[in-house]
Structure 1
Amino acid sequence: MTPELRRTLGVFDAVVIGLGSMVGAGIFAALGPAAAAAGSWLLVGLALAAAVAYCNAMSSARLAALYPSSGGTYVYGRERLGDFWGYLAGWAFVVGKTASCAAMALTVGSYAWPEQSRAVAVAAVVVLTAVDYGGVRKSALVTRVIVAVVLAVLAAVAVTLAVSDAADPGRLAPGGGTGPGGVLQAAGLLFFAFAGYARIATLGEEVRDPARTIPRAVPLALGAALAVYAAVAAAALAVLGAAGLGAAEAPLAAAAEAAGADWLGPVVRAAAVVASLGSLLALILGVSRTTLAMARDGHLPRGLAAVHPRFRVPHRAGLAVGAVVAVVAATVDVRGAIGFSSFGVLVYYAVANAAAWTLPSRAARVTAGCGLTGCLVLALSLPAVSAIAGTGVLAVGAVLYALRRRHDGGGDASA
């Protein structure tokens, strides 16, 4: 019998892990590109991203309460839609989030030591893989500290910018020449920052009383993240305006300088590093647990399904994920990694909503239908290169699945 993981996480810890996944590099990195795409309609794009994320969150929460085991949508798709769709969701998640791990690691490097960003990125992956190896409870404690620090800094940023003489509330009014495509693209970029609540579902086997804990933790984490993003985005937009925010490479640092708060610059840079580390830790947790679930079912090497006898974590899956992320962080570009990851995340949630559509509740179907439509629309709004690359990788995964089924079928026939 395959050993189960230890259930140690309550509502607060689950919320912290989800919040640590969302309030991370997104608020420091995605805000500028989103403003460049949507212009003064940035807050509309943020609201759209939050609406799609909410639908996905509720679909995921309903499914997680029914299937409280590690794997998230990989498990839901398999149980509600069939083995292939669960596999496709798991493949999209593992591949897409591995790229996202690399993006977070590279963000740490670019803020901490730009001249040696790749070396710092690899070192960050190694250290956080070791933290995960020591047990999810320790990981949750580390994440709790990171979230507290980042939230304190972001609160200081939002208040300082909002009360500064440079803030002009008139800049918050939607207007200008950007079209619906720009708003959708901004929503797609900002959705990347919201997607961390999936970490709560993928940790379902390590949550106490998952039927109650997960449906409570997911909306709480999402609502807290939305409040943070809205406050910071509105304050930065009021100070810099859409054009200035969109042109800034480090938007929050630029906003602090424009507001005359030069002391905030180094603080923001340090918070960006801490936030990215928090996102990276939560991502490693989620990817390794989905890898565990897929390995248990034979979609990945079964040796990755091992659970450490002392720490009760999927140590081989965690080490494998850490090794792959370290290699990717040493070789890829951060922008390409984010675009590729966004496509995989949207496919993952599309499967989750399709699975939730099969639930008997009418409310579940309405939410799932809205979420599925939103995922497809945002996926189509991504740059063509991201969509093409993502489709190619999904096709490779489908071919591998077909080959495995053919091999298994042949083995059965010969037995």
Structure 2
Amino acid sequence: MQLARRLGTLDAVVIGLGAMIGAGVFTAFAPAAAAAGPALLVGLALAGIVAYCNATSSAQLAAKYPTSGGTYAYGRAELNDWWGFLAGWGFVIGKTASASAMSLTFAAYVLPDGGMWQRLLAVAGIWALTMVNYRGITKTAGLARILLAIVSVVLLAVIINNVLVPVESTLTISTEPPALFPDVSLYGVFQSAGLMFFAFAGYARIATLGEEVRDPTRTIPRAIGIALFIALALYAIIGVTLLWALGSEGIAATPTPLRAAAEAGPWASWLVPLVAIGGAVAALGALLALVAGIGRTSLAMAREGDLPGFLAAVHPRFQVPHRAEITLAVIVTIIVLLVDLRGVIGFSSFGVLLYYFVANLAAFKQTDQRRHPRFIQVLGMILCILLVATLPVWSIAAGITVFVVGALGRMIASRHRPAG
């Protein structure tokens, strides 16, 4: 059974933005600042360039292949089954870890003291959003609009709060003009870009919904471009605001730089609690989009035999991949109760950057319905590999291990799969 085409351009843009803003603004700036220092904005710009290359490749492919699965489907169609599996496996594993991290992030903003109650709240969050997705994709888009509106108000308040700070009360203001090219290592800038790319990966969710948008040939490329442009502009404004309020060392020193920025301004008494609410809501928005994206990619992989076949079921009434989403919720529940994965940004970036390497390669090989010159796809492939190579060592090791395990599993399963 096919999924129903119920989403328009605005719906797709909102789902993509909800994933990008939730994942990026509240989680990615601190480790990126630790890597690049005062060159944080250079790393952000580089991540934006990589995201643009990947987005144009995804849009070009999505216009030709308007189906669920995103780059998993594109890799199989334009390259071969193994390239498709590489992309799909990286997406599902990396984003499952991200879903666990986002659910814990949501709970940490609501119950900062930690403990088992925090983990139970994280579990409640994942199941609540799974039920929203279960009821149909239009319910997902509707809730995404509400969450995105709340987060946007919070971010606007933080920006205004720090723009209005008098110069004498901003401790990080220096009498020396900022260096145009800060004295930081190129390695640190690339690592920062790889970590910040985690924030941009949300537009992949738009491509994975290819089977559920109306007029996909036109809608998907437009939605990806609009969502990416808005997110990049917002990240740039937030990055400048955080550097102004805290400096790069201040951003790197706290896991919650937006909260620290709120505390530095004149509205701290009421804005700090509001930022806590915004962080919780943003994590929910990212989690909502993750459930939708992982479910659709798992559906596509199950249809082709790369994941267990029972995951390929589509609900007869709500027309969603209900078994895939319920299975994801069970797996995330187990992870959340046993492990704290809030530090998985590097691991997630590893999987998603390889996912987009396959997208760029597939778009490069594409011969018809081309929309963009091939040099953009070549640049995208080169930058994806460079960013992967400069991620933290443990992220690379964990990513390679997971991909080897997945490849071995696929080879073993293929030997027992009936021919034809």
What TM bracket, shorter-length normalisation? over 0.9
Q: Matched residues in 1 for 2:371 and 2:327: separation?
A: 41
- 8 Å Cα contact 1:35-1:186 kept in structure 2: yes
Q: Deviations over 1:37-76 (max 9, x none)?
A: 1111111111011110111011001000100000000000
- 8 Å Cα contact 1:307-1:313 kept in structure 2: yes
Aligned pairs for 1:2-151 (under 5 A) are 3-114=1-112, 115=114, 116-151=117-152
1:25 CA displacement: 3.5
Change (3 A) 1:364 1:4: farther
Change (3 A) 1:171 1:94: farther
Percentage of identical aligned residues: 54
1:308 aligns with 315
- 8 Å Cα contact 2:158-2:271 kept in structure 1: yes
Q: Matched residues in 1 for 2:50 and 2:295: separation?
A: 25
- 8 Å Cα contact 1:171-1:241 kept in structure 2: no
Amino acid in the other structure paired with 1:398: A
1:268 aligns with 275
1:377 aligns with 386
1:158 CA displacement: 1.1
1:336 CA displacement: 4.1
Of the structure 1 ranges 226-235 and 326-335, higher mean CA displacement relative to structure 2 is found in: 326-335
Structure 2 unaligned residues grouped into runs of 5+: none
1:305 CA displacement: 0.8
1:306 CA displacement: 0.8
Q: Matched residues in 1 for 2:91 and 2:23: separation?
A: 19
Change (3 A) 1:124 1:335: closer
Amino acid in the other structure paired with 1:295: A
Change (3 A) 1:16 1:171: farther
Q: Matched residues in 2 for 1:339 and 1:375: separation?
A: 13
Amino acid in the other structure paired with 1:346: L
Q: Matched residues in 2 for 1:205 and 1:160: separation?
A: 42
Amino acid in the other structure paired with 2:223: A
Q: Matched residues in 2 for 1:78 and 1:249: separation?
A: 39
1:241 CA displacement: 1.3
Amino acid in the other structure paired with 2:388: A
Of the structure 1 ranges 254-263 and 200-209, higher mean CA displacement relative to structure 2 is found in: 254-263
- 8 Å Cα contact 2:68-2:208 kept in structure 1: yes
Q: Matched residues in 2 for 1:165 and 1:73: separation?
A: 48
Of the structure 1 ranges 172-181 and 114-123, higher mean CA displacement relative to structure 2 is found in: 172-181
2:284 aligns with 277
Q: Matched residues in 2 for 1:316 and 1:56: separation?
A: 30
Residue 159 (structure 1) aligned with residue 169 (structure 2): no
1:36 CA displacement: 1.7
Of the structure 1 ranges 14-23 and 228-237, higher mean CA displacement relative to structure 2 is found in: 228-237
1:195 CA displacement: 0.4
**Which secondary structure does the structure 2 equivalent of 1:334 belong to?**
coil
Q: Matched residues in 1 for 2:331 and 2:157: separation?
A: 36
Amino acid in the other structure paired with 1:86: G
- 8 Å Cα contact 2:23-2:198 kept in structure 1: no
- 8 Å Cα contact 2:154-2:274 kept in structure 1: yes
1:351 aligns with 358
1:173 CA displacement: 4.4
1:332 CA displacement: 2.1
Amino acid in the other structure paired with 2:158: V
Aligned pairs for 1:286-305 (under 5 A) are 286-305=293-312
Q: Matched residues in 1 for 2:411 and 2:347: separation?
A: 23
Superposition CA RMSD, Å: 1.6
Structure 1 unaligned residues grouped into runs of 5+: none
Change (3 A) 1:293 1:162: same
- 8 Å Cα contact 2:105-2:342 kept in structure 1: no
- 8 Å Cα contact 2:93-2:351 kept in structure 1: yes
Q: Matched residues in 1 for 2:89 and 2:138: separation?
A: 26
Amino acid in the other structure paired with 2:246: L
Q: Matched residues in 2 for 1:336 and 1:16: separation?
A: 26
Q: Matched residues in 2 for 1:49 and 1:234: separation?
A: 16
Q: Matched residues in 2 for 1:162 and 1:45: separation?
A: 23
1:407 CA displacement: 2.6
Q: Deviations over 1:168-190 (max 9, x none)?
A: 49776445432111111111111
- 8 Å Cα contact 1:122-1:329 kept in structure 2: yes
- 8 Å Cα contact 1:359-1:365 kept in structure 2: no
1:366 CA displacement: 1.4
Residue 231 (structure 1) aligned with residue 237 (structure 2): yes
**Which secondary structure does the structure 2 equivalent of 1:149 belong to?**
helix
Aligned residues: 409
Amino acid in the other structure paired with 1:287: I
1:394 aligns with 403
Q: Deviations over 1:126-159 (max 9, x none)?
A: 1111111010100100001101111111112112
- 8 Å Cα contact 2:303-2:312 kept in structure 1: yes
1:326 CA displacement: 1.4
Q: Matched residues in 2 for 1:176 and 1:226: separation?
A: 22
Change (3 A) 1:214 1:171: farther
Q: Matched residues in 2 for 1:362 and 1:23: separation?
A: 27
2:332 aligns with 325
2:217 aligns with 211
Of the structure 1 ranges 168-177 and 30-39, higher mean CA displacement relative to structure 2 is found in: 168-177
Q: Matched residues in 1 for 2:344 and 2:127: separation?
A: 19
Amino acid in the other structure paired with 1:158: I
Q: Matched residues in 2 for 1:337 and 1:178: separation?
A: 24
Higher helix share: 1
